[in-house]
């Protein structure tokens, strides 16, 4: 029999023998897990702070230094829907998002297909130029245009 077949017949693989021989585990996985948990908590901190701020009453929300003990309330959401035209703003935003997505797809899909199928260096140059403009920071393009229009 081969070595692998013998191990299967005996019921022990090389990995299980190594685990049973050394009963000690390294602290590295636990330390890396704690580190990753800390990083995740740090990344979620702004969202947690926002959720806590939204549930604070108005007189407590803007106090400096921040108050950590308060009675949570959803009054801010009720005021938002009752005192303003938020539903209208929400519908307008949804409409603009849907229409702009449809227009972008109607223009972009045929253009992408044409650039992908067009032979030659012109299509490659256009694709590289498009990538360069995607990589540029928005302010690098917007600020000179603003200065020119002003």
Judge whether 55 and 74 are in contact, CB under 8 Å.
yes
pLDDT value for 85: 86
pLDDT beyond 80 at 3: no
Higher pLDDT, 77 or 107: 107
> Taking Cα atoms as reference points, which of 49, 54, 60, 90 lies closest to residue 74?
54
Q: What is the largest CA-CA distance in the chain?
A: 85
pLDDT-derived band of residue 96, with 50, 70 and 90 as boundaries? very high
The mean pLDDT of 120-132, rounded to a whole number, is 86
> How far apart are the C-alpha atoms of 98 and 89, rounded to whole Å?
14
* pLDDT tens for each residue of 62-79: 888 888 888 888 888 888
> What is the SS3 assignment for 25?
coil
Q: Which residue has the tokens 């108005």?
A: 58
Residue extents of the structural domains in the chain: 29-74, 85-149
């Amino acid at each position: 029999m081969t070595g692998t077949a013998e191990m299967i017949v005996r019921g022990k693989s090389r990995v299980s023998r190594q685990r049973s021989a050394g009963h000690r585990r390294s602290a590295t996985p636990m330390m890396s897990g704690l580190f990753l948990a800390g990083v995740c908590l740090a990344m979620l901190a702004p969202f947690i702070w926002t959720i806590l701020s939204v549930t604070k009453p108005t007189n407590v929300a803007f106090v400096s230094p921040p108050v950590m003990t308060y009675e949570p309330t959803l009054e801010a959401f009720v005021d938002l829907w009752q005192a303003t035209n938020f539903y209208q703003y929400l519908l307008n935003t949804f409409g603009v998002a849907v229409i702009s997505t449809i227009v972008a797809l109607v223009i972009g899909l045929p253009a992408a297909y044409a650039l992908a199928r067009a032979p030659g260096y012109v299509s490659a140059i256009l694709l590289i130029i498009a990538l360069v403009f995607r990589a540029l920071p928005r302010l690098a393009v917007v600020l000179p245009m603003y200065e020119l229009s002003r």
